[in-house]
Amino acid sequence: AGTGESGKSTFIKQMRIIHGSGYSDEDKRGFTKLVYQNIFTAMQAMIRAMDTLKIPYKYEHNKKVSMFENPYVDAIRSLWNDPGIQECYDRRREYQLSDSTKYYLNDLDRIADPAYLPTQQDVLRVRVPTTGIIEYPFDLQSVIFRMVDVGGQRSERRKWIHCFENVTSIMFLVALSEYDQVLVESDNENRMEESKALFRTIITYPWFQNSSVILFLNKKDLLEEKIMYSHLVDYFPEYDG
């Protein structure tokens, strides 16, 4: 369980790679369009945010690039190299932007290759919001585990919160990097506060009184990058580290 973009689906993909059947080349090929879509969506989000945040483009010709289709790799590359877009990326906590943006855009030449086949890392970083309830069984030392992936957005939670009366364990994921971000659903509510509230709610439900609870703190790498310029105390004044 966990809030939106806490890394639940990515964790299950990792389990599939390590303990399951992994991803064949055919499986990976199925992610190609999703990788492209993630890149286009991220760049469009930054273009919109440039206007909202009143950040000027360094290179005038980038002002004219307002939308693009698959062949326009040069336009995406030019935009990503614009110092204005880089400033906009650094201010991503002020709008909604996928965590995988930098990873994909820094690897644009590889991804733009006509013979491109997504790597396992590309597959892991693809962002597709989970809707409903999806079950993944896998075999670990002759024991069958059934992991259930659920949607984390508020609108999705009501679909699953009552469905797990007899689960053995609940793994609750929290993205450590979300301390300075707001919810997709509500732009004045802090994501980490939402995670804390949902965690408190889940562990007090009577359905889960006999289930073990594992708190998984995720996205440590993004926290290490972000903490250098976005101070935790600005969002959690009680922190005195």
Q: Which residues are catalytic?
A: 5, 10, 127, 149, 153
Q: Establish whether 219 is an annotated binding residue.
A: yes
Q: Give the span between the Cα atoms of 92 and 87, in whole angstroms.
A: 9
Q: Establish whether 150 is an annotated binding residue.
A: yes
Long-range contacts of 144-151, Cβ-Cβ distance < 8 Å, separation of 24 or more: 145/19, 147/12, 147/15, 149/8, 149/9, 149/12, 150/1, 150/8, 151/4
Q: Give the span between the Cα atoms of 241 and 230, in whole angstroms.
A: 14
Calculate ∠ Cα 23-223-16, nearest 5°: 15
Q: Establish whether 178 is an annotated binding residue.
A: no
Q: Establish whether 8 is an annotated binding residue.
A: yes
Q: Establish whether 99 is an annotated binding residue.
A: yes
Q: Establish whether 74 is an annotated binding residue.
A: no
Neighbour-count burial for 131-148, b at 16+ CB within 10 Å, e otherwise: eeeeeeebeeeeeeeebb
Q: Establish whether 125 is an annotated binding residue.
A: yes
Q: Establish whether 152 is an annotated binding residue.
A: yes
Q: Establish whether 22 is an annotated binding residue.
A: no
Beta strand pairing call for 143-150 and 169-175: unpaired
Q: Residue 213: what are its φ and ψ, rounded to 5°?
A: -120, 125
Centre a 10 Å sphere on the Cβ of residue 52 and count the other Cβ atoms it contains: 10
Q: Establish whether 218 is an annotated binding residue.
A: yes
144 beta partners: 139
Q: Establish whether 5 is an annotated binding residue.
A: yes
Q: Establish whether 6 is an annotated binding residue.
A: yes
Q: Could you tell me which residues are annotated as the binding site for GTP?
A: 5-10, 99-100, 124-130, 149-153, 218-221
Q: Could you tell me which residues are annotated as the binding site for Mg(2+)?
A: 9, 130
Q: Could you tell me which residues are annotated as the binding site?
A: 5-10, 99-100, 124-130, 149-153, 218-221
